[in-house]
């Protein structure tokens, strides 16, 4: 028995190689958040499409299929059409204002050498402040007997309605949102400006270019990826305007500030009409998708160093 050759016994081989084990680990780690995203985001989105084609009264057990009726009813609703117009006003004025102010502050901060961190923190604080708190503070200072009107009257000027004016309210909300989002845009543009090689500005100075020409021919073209990112993020944010409007004007006066999201909220949780609310949500989703694609196609340009 001792003379037997034990080396002839076959050894068990590993089921997976080290490389295969690494791939299994990586794909497993990717699969977990993917399943979470599908279950929390993708499936509810598909379910929303389904509800939009039904007469879905939350208090009724019967939820019949009605086809395109909800979508037709929405576009016949004057308030919904007004909410669409208001939302586009939020996007156009809000995004342009945030981009211009964010880039302007970033350019100014880039020129100073002392206390840069302090100024960055001061400008960024409003962005991390509660939206509800900011909305109520602005609502308080813009009341009929608020601080702003008190200052105006001391200078002999006429008091303004501000948030109670159908002509002024929406633009005051936009200014509030621009002010609060300024810190985020500033940080994004500062990061973009820091990535522009200084050698381009030095070469432009040798050629006799002034500050404006350097801004037009160097800064703006090389900031294109940053501008595209900021425009897309800003557009999505303003298209989803809700908290500021709800806390400052509740959509008034005379629906002059109502947004699509606030309209959806009122349909779903005040009138309990989930069918119309889901149809409006689908329309908003398609608007966001189309605007994002257009922005990425129109704004994105390739520049080589």
Q: What is the pLDDT of residues 100-150, one digit of tens each?
A: 999 999 999 988 878 888 888 999 999 999 999 999 999 999 998 889 999
Distance CA 131, CA 172 (A): 15
Q: What is the pLDDT of residues 208-238, one digit of tens each?
A: 888 888 888 888 889 988 998 999 899 999 9
Give the tokens for residue 151: 């200052």
- Residue 65 has phi, psi (to 5 degrees) of -75, 130
Element (H, E) at 49: helix 43-52
Helices 116-128, 169-194: axis angle to 10 degrees equals 140
Q: For residue 300, is pLDDT > 80?
A: no
Distance CA 113, CA 104 (A): 17
Class of domain 69-299: mainly alpha
What pLDDT shows up at residue 17?
Answer: 83
Q: What is the pLDDT of residues 243-265, one digit of tens each?
A: 999 999 999 899 999 999 999 99
What pLDDT shows up at residue 14?
Answer: 55
What pLDDT shows up at residue 303?
Answer: 55
| 3 state SS for 114-164 | CCHHHHHHHHHHHHHCCHHHHHHHHHHHCCCCCHHHHHHHHCCCCCCCHHH
Q: For residue 1, is pLDDT > 50?
A: no
Residue in this structure with the two tokens 């084609």, named with its chain if needed: 53
Q: Which residues pair with 54 in a beta bridge?
A: 65
Residue ranges per structural domain of the chain: 16-53, 69-299
- Residue 301 has phi, psi (to 5 degrees) of -135, 150
pLDDT band at 15 (very low <50, low <70, confident <90, very high): confident
Q: For residue 5, is pLDDT > 70?
A: no
Q: What is the pLDDT of residues 149-208, one digit of tens each?
A: 999 999 989 999 999 999 999 999 999 999 999 999 999 999 999 988 889 888 888 888
- The candidate with the shortest Cα–Cα distance to 303, out of 209, 228, 205, is 228
How many CB atoms neighbour CB 233 within 10 A? Answer: 17
Q: What is the pLDDT of residues 276-290, one digit of tens each?
A: 999 999 999 999 999
Compute the mean pLDDT over every residue in the chain, rounded to the nearest whole number: 88
Q: What spatial distance separates the first Cα and last Cα of the chain, rounded to whole Å?
A: 78
Distance CA 174, CA 172 (A): 5
Q: What is the pLDDT of residues 265-275, one digit of tens each?
A: 999 998 888 99
């Amino acid at each position: 028995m001792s003379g037997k050759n034990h080396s002839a016994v076959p050894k068990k081989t590993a089921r997976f190689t080290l490389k295969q084990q690494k791939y299994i680990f990586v794909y497993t780690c990717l699969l977990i958040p993917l399943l979470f995203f599908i279950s929390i985001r993708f499936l509810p989105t598909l379910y929303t499409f389904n509800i939009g084609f039904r007469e879905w009264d939350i208090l009724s057990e019967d939820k019949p299929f009605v086809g395109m009726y909800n979508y037709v009813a929405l576009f016949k609703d004057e308030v919904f059409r007004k909410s669409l117009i208001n939302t586009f006003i939020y996007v156009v004025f809000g995004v342009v204002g945030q981009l211009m102010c964010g880039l302007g502050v970033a350019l100014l901060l880039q020129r100073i050498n002392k206390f840069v961190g302090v100024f960055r923190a001061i400008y960024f604080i409003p962005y991390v402040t509660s939206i509800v708190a900011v909305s109520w503070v602005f609502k308080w200072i813009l009341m009929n007997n608020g601080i702003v009107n008190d200052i105006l009257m001391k200078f002999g000027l006429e008091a303004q309605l501000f948030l109670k004016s159908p002509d002024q309210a929406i633009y005051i909300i936009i200014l509030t949102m621009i002010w609060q989002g300024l810190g985020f845009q500033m940080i994004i543009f500062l990061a973009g400006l820091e990535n522009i090689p200084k050698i381009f500005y030095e070469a432009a100075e040798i050629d006799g270019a002034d500050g404006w020409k350097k801004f037009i021919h160097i800064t703006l073209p090389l900031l294109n990826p940053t501008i595209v990112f900021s425009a897309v993020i800003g557009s999505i944010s303003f298209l989803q305007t809700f908290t500021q409007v709800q806390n400052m004007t509740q959509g008034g006066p005379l629906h002059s500030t109502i947004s699509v999201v606030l309209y959806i909220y009122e349909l779903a949780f005040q009138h309990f009409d989930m069918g119309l609310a889901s149809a409006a949500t689908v329309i908003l989703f398609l608007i966001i998708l189309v605007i994002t694609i257009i922005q990425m196609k129109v704004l994105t340009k390739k520049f080589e160093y």
